[in-house]
C-alpha cells in the first residue's frame, strides 16, 4: 500500500470537502444564490469522484461504506489522530 499516495488523495479530499463546507454555510444564508449553488454542485461532483477513487483503493472514509469483500478494512490503521 502506497501511504504517500493515500495521504495525497486524502489531502485533496480535505480541500474539496472544505470548499463544499464553505459553500454549504454560505448557501444556508443565501439559498437563492445561483452562482453559489453552481459552485457547490461542482465541488460535490469533484468530491464524489475523489471519494470513489479513495474508496476503491483504501476503503471508505465512512463506517457505512465499502470496506472490502474479504476483510472488514474499517478498523485498520491509521486512525485520524495517528496520521
Question: Using CB under 8 A as the criterion, which residues of the chain lie in contact with other proteins when the complex forms?
Answer: 62-63, 74-77, 79-81
Q: How far is the CB of 18 from other proteins (least distance, A)?
A: 10
Q: Which is nearer to other proteins, 56 or 62 (CB)?
A: 62
d(CA 19, CA 48): 13
Q: How far is the CB of 45 from other proteins (least distance, A)?
A: 17
Handedness of CA 28, 31, 35, 39 (dihedral sign): positive
Q: How far is the CB of 82 from other proteins (least distance, A)?
A: 9
Instruction: Convert 6-17 to b/e letters by CB count within 10 Å (16 or more is b).
Output: eeebbebbeebb
Q: Which is nearer to other proteins, 38 or 78 (CB)?
A: 78
Residue at grid coordinates 495517528: 82
Q: Which is nearer to other proteins, 35 or 77 (CB)?
A: 77
Amino acid at each position: 500500500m502506497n501511504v504517500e499516495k493515500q495521504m495525497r488523495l486524502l489531502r485533496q479530499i480535505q480541500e474539496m470537502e472544505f470548499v463544499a463546507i464553505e459553500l454549504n454555510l454560505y448557501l444556508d444564508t443565501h439559498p437563492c444564490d445561483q452562482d453559489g449553488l453552481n459552485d457547490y454542485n461542482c465541488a460535490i461532483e469533484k468530491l464524489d469522484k475523489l471519494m470513489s477513487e479513495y474508496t476503491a483503493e483504501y476503503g471508505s472514509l465512512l463506517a457505512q461504506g465499502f470496506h472490502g469483500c474479504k476483510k472488514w478494512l474499517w478498523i485498520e490503521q491509521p486512525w485520524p489522530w495517528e496520521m
